């Protein structure tokens, strides 16, 4: 028996990266701005999407891919707002992978302006998986506490945008908004930060304006 | 806990390499895991030991090389290790830091019996 050493140097998530790049390329050709939403469970991703649907729905064409371990509940909530939604049920997996998004991709209308992907509620695992998005948003809600950015660095360092949600609870809970912003900017100085209440609607317009200007930039690059 | 799904990807690569090399056994697998890779090396090891049963790697040893987050300041050019993930230069306070290493999640090499 002969022993042999083989140098490989291959990325373990290389196949995910490859599928994600193909998705990104196709979406870019179609001029669709894609936004991946990451957060722990219950931070308000679906409520924020409902609010975005109400405000952005009448002016733009949007669709949503919902990732959950079980149930169609989230996509039903989005469809109730008149927005097409596809539910990916991961059956136990704690994150979405590019290959799961690729499976529903053929059903996505080509004339969309925005495609939102709501990841499985989890602040750890989804951060490792590129889904082909243009913008990654991490949502941190007030009840979770202002110390989360450094406890979950990967979600914050890989994101383009931080949404501090449930701002209506700020008067009730000991959440230091400035501390959360400072911590987040220390580990990712490029983060764009928005403070919203998806429930009451505050701050959502500023967030939508950011998405609209990003869409405009993407289409300018295409032109 | 996405380590099991990462180990499943690892075994896809291992099977392909073993086939290419016409290997009878995989005796050692060496990974590079960066501090900002988003995975826990200990969980990777547990997942590896579960997954390897009934494969060519059933007796394989897993080696994990942990890579710290190393950055270089784009203003004063100092290189430094950042264990706290704070992207601010410890020397001049600039925020323009370039990541040199620490995000790896790589299969570095394997040892085979052929």
Cβ-based contacts of B95 with chain A (< 8 Å): 189
A33 has which bridge partners?
A114
- The CA distance from A143 to A164, in Å, is 10
Domains and CATH numbers, chain B: 3-68+101-113 (3.30.2320.50)
Nearest by CB to residue A125, choosing from B1, B107, B109, is B1
Domains and CATH numbers, chain A: 16-218 (3.40.50.300)
Confidence band for A1, pLDDT divided at 50, 70 and 90:
confident
The span from the first CA to the last CA of chain A, in angstroms, equals: 61
B109 contacts B12 by C-beta, under 8 angstroms = no
Cβ separation B110–A8 shorter than 8 A: yes
Question: How far lies A26's CA from each of A47, A110, A211, B98, in Å?
Answer: 28, 10, 19, 29
Confidence band for A139, pLDDT divided at 50, 70 and 90:
very high
Cβ separation B2–A10 shorter than 8 A: no
Averaged pLDDT, groups of 10, chain B, 114 residues long? 91 96 96 94 94 96 97 97 94 95 97 95
Q: What is the pTM of this model?
A: 0.93
- With tokens 């979405």, the residue in question is A96
- The CA distance from B50 to B21, in Å, is 24
Q: A98-128, pLDDT tens digit by residue?
A: 999 999 988 999 999 999 999 999 999 999 9
Optimal mutation site among B30, B85, B99, interface A, most CBs of chain A within 10 A: B85
């Amino acid at each position: 028996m002969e022993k042999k050493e083989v140098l490989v140097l291959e990325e373990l998530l290389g196949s995910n990266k490859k599928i994600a790049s193909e998705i990104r390329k196709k979406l870019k050709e179609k001029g669709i701005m894609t936004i991946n939403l990451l957060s722990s469970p219950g931070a308000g991703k679906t409520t924020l999407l409902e609010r975005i649907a109400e405000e952005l729905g009448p002016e733009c064409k949007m669709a949503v891919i919902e990732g959950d371990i079980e149930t169609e509940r989230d996509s039903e909530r989005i469809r109730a707002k008149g927005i097409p939604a596809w539910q990916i049920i991961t059956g136990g997996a704690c994150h979405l992978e590019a290959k799961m998004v690729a499976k529903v991709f053929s059903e996505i209308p080509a004339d969309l302006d925005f495609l939102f992907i709501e990841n499985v509620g989890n602040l750890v695992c989804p951060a490792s998986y590129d889904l082909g998005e243009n913008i990654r948003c991490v949502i941190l809600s007030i009840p979770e506490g202002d110390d989360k950015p450094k406890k979950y660095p990967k979600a914050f360092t890989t994101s383009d945008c931080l949404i501090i949600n449930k701002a209506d609870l700020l008067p009730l809970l000991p959440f230091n908004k400035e501390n959360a912003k400072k911590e987040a900017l220390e580990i990712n100085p490029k983060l764009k930060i928005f403070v919203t209440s998806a429930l009451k609607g505050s701050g959502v317009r500023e967030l939508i304006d950011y998405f609209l200007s990003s869409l405009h930039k993407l289409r300018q690059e295409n032109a | 806990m996405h380590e099991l799904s990462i180990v499943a990807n690892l075994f896809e690569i291992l099977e392909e390499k073993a086939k290419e090399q016409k290997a009878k056994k995989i005796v050692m697998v060496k990974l590079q895991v960066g501090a900002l890779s988003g995975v826990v090396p200990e969980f990777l090891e547990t997942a590896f030991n579960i997954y390897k049963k009934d494969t060519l790697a059933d007796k394989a040893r897993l080696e994990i090389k942990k890579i710290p987050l190393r950055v270089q300041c784009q203003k004063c050019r100092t290189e430094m290790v950042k264990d706290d993930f704070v992207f601010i230069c410890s020397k001049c306070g600039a925020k323009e830091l370039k990541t040199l290493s620490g995000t790896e999640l790589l299969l570095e090499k394997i040892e085979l019996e052929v």
